[in-house]
Amino acid sequence: MTVGLWSVSLIALLFSLYKKPLETKSALGMASKMIKNMLIQIVGILFLIGFMLSMLPPELIKGVLGSSNQLFSTVAGALLGSVTIIPAFVAFPLVASFLKLGASVLPAIAFLTTLTMVGIATFPIEKEAFGLKFTLVRNGLSFVFAIIIAFSMGVILR
């Protein structure tokens, strides 16, 4: 996927530089200025996530997802997914192993959904790009819908 994207965008860039050199250069300059500003924040946040991940043992996730009260553990699963950023290919086997051990499926779904859609960690970057209100609304809606998705899947899968 990444290799494909790189080659497509490089070819497109060369074509663009050939056809509209001035516009392309000025647009590149503007975009790089914007992204440079963002990167300073992103790098700091990535280091923070790396730190959090080393402090957050998988047992905690298991404890939250495995709680007996379904509503509580679903909301807790959604919360946990919001604050953590785990690569999805790590999250899927992790969740699968909990489910095999008998953990409930609702909190697992809520966790998986907020994991990717809600970003407490990326909140500052999103806020700077789109403003506080947009960021609050988008993340808030994602959180609520993660729980709705979990419960509707609970009904469908039953």
- The answer to the question of residue 51 lying near other proteins (CB under 8 A) is yes
> For residues 58-77, which are near other proteins according to CB under 8 A?
none
Residue selected from 18, 40, 59, 68 as contacting other proteins according to rule CB under 8 A:
40
Q: Write down the least CB distance from residue 86 to other proteins, Å.
A: 10
Among 20, 58, 69, 72, binds other proteins (CB under 8 A): 20
- Is 130 a binder of other proteins (CB under 8 A)? yes
Burial of 65: CB neighbours in 10 Å, binned 0-12, 13-18, 19+:
buried
Determine the Cα–Cα distance for residues 130 and 125; give it in Å rounded to an integer: 9
Residues 97-126 that bind other proteins (CB under 8 A): 99, 109, 112-113, 116-117, 119, 122, 124-126
Question: Under the criterion CB under 8 A, does residue 87 sit at the interface with other proteins?
Answer: yes
| Amino acid at position 151, single letter | F
The window from 37-45, 58-66, 67-75, 76-84 that contacts other proteins (CB under 8 A) reads 37-45
Is 64 or 112 the residue whose CB approaches other proteins more closely? 112
Going 10 to 117 to 77 to 100, the CA torsion angle's sign is: negative
Total of chain residues touching other proteins, rule CB under 8 A: 75
52: left (phi over 0), alpha (psi -120 to 50) or beta: alpha
Strands (E) across 1-145 are located at none
Least distance to other proteins, CB of residue 54, Å: 4
Residues in contact with 115: Cβ distance below 8 Å, sequence separation at least 6, in sequence order: 81, 84, 85, 86, 88, 91
